[in-house]
Amino acid sequence: MSFRDATRGASEPTPAGPARGLRGAARVGAVALVGVLTLAASGCSVKGADNVNVIVGKQMFVAKCGSCHVLTRAGTKGIVGPNLDEAFRASIAEGLQRSSVRGTVEAQIKIPNPEGAMPKELVKGATARDVAAYVAQVVDAPGQDSGLLASAVEAPGAGKPAVEQGGKLQIPASPSGQLAYVATKAIAKPGPVAIEMPNTSGVSHNIAVETGENGANPKGTVLAASPFTTNGTAAVKVTLKPGTYTFFCQAPGHRAAGMYGTLIVK
Ligand code: HEC
C-alpha cells in the first residue's frame, strides 16, 4: 500500500459504485443497532438519554483518528484519510441527519474499506459510540467547541520551551496524538547534543533538525534525523553551531499540520 493509494480517498469524498452500496448496507445496520442500544440503556444512563460521552469521544478521536483525518472542530490535521468535514458536507447539505452520520461513522470504525489504510476497530464498544457521537455532532459544523468540549484536549505545543541539560535535549511528541511536539521552542548550547523524542501517542513520529527558522516550510539543510517510533523514545545526535534551527517530524503531512518548532543554539 503506497502513501498515494492511502490518500486517494481525500480527493474522492463521494465514491460511487458497488463499494458505496455495501457501505450503505452496513450503515443501515449500525443505525438500527444504535436505536436498540439507546432503548436498552435509557433506564440507567448518567450521561444523557443515549448514554454517550462526547468529551471522551473527542479525546479518543484526537488520540486514535486525528493523525489521519482533518476534523476542524477537533483541531486535527491528518492527511492520510479523507477530510471528514468535506466528506460529509454534501450529504449534510442535502439533509442527512446527524444521527445517520453517527451510524455511518460507527460502521466505518467497525468495517473500514479492507483495501484502505484505516485499521479496523481502533476504538471499540462504548468508546466507538462516543467517538461516532462526537464526530456526528461537530463534522462540518460552523464555530468552535464550547464548554467542557473546548478544554477536553490540551492545545498542541502549549508546553514550556525544552532546554538542553547535560548534552541532552528532550522534546516529547504530543501524548494526546496531535500532530505536534509538546513544545514549539527549544534551547541548546553549541556543540554536540543528543536530541530525544519520547512518544507515547501510538502515532508514528520522528524528529529531524534543519538549518534556519522555517516553520512548516522545508527550506534548510537537514542535519540529522532520528528513527521513527510509535511508542518509545527516538534519539539522534548532532553537533550544532550557534544559530537558529527548525526541528520537525518527517512523517508525511505532519510538519504541514504543525509538528515543528524552533531550536535556538547560543
Ligand atoms: C491510519 C490512518 C487512519 C486512521 C488512524 C483512521 N482513519 Fe478513517 N480513513 C482512513 C482512510 C485511508 C479512509 C478512506 C478509505 C476507507 O474508506 O476505509 C478513511 C475513511 C474514513 C471515513 C469515511 C469517510 C468517507 O469519505 O466516507 C470515516 C467516517 C473515518 N475514516 C473515520 C475515522 C475514525 C472515527 C477514526 C478513528 C477511530 C479513523 N477514521 C481513523 C484512514 C484512517
Tens of pLDDT along the chain (266 residues)?
A: 334 344 344 444 444 333 443 444 444 444 444 444 443 333 333 354 578 999 999 999 999 999 999 999 999 999 999 999 999 999 999 999 999 999 999 999 999 999 999 999 999 999 999 999 999 999 999 999 999 999 999 888 888 999 999 999 999 999 999 999 999 999 999 999 999 999 999 999 999 999 999 999 999 999 999 999 999 999 999 999 999 999 999 999 999 999 999 999 99
- Measured from the CA of 9, which atom of ligand 1 is nearest? 14
Domains in the chain: how many in total? 2
Answer yes or no: do 167 and 143 share one domain. Answer: no
Answer yes or no: do 189 and 123 share one domain. Answer: no
Strands of the sheet with 243-248, listed across from one edge: 162-163, 185-188, 260-265, 243-248, 208-211, 222-225
Strand 185-188 to 162-163 pairing: parallel
Answer yes or no: do 80 and 121 share one domain. Answer: yes
Residue 240 grid cell: 550544532
Q: Please tell me the predicted confidence (pLDDT) of residue 231.
A: 96
Indicate whether residue 203 lines ligand 1 (CB < 6 A): no
Is 250 part of a structural domain of the chain? yes
Contact (CB, 8 A) for 76 and 66: yes
Answer yes or no: do 122 and 210 share one domain. Answer: no
Which CATH number fits the domain that encloses residue 184?
2.60.40.420
Q: Please tell me the predicted confidence (pLDDT) of residue 40.
A: 39
Indicate whether residue 123 lines ligand 1 (CB < 6 A): yes
Indicate whether residue 157 lines ligand 1 (CB < 6 A): no
Answer yes or no: do 98 and 123 share one domain. Answer: yes
Q: Please tell me the predicted confidence (pLDDT) of residue 61.
A: 98
d(CA 101, CA 123): 17
Indicate whether residue 82 lines ligand 1 (CB < 6 A): yes
Is 134 part of a structural domain of the chain? yes
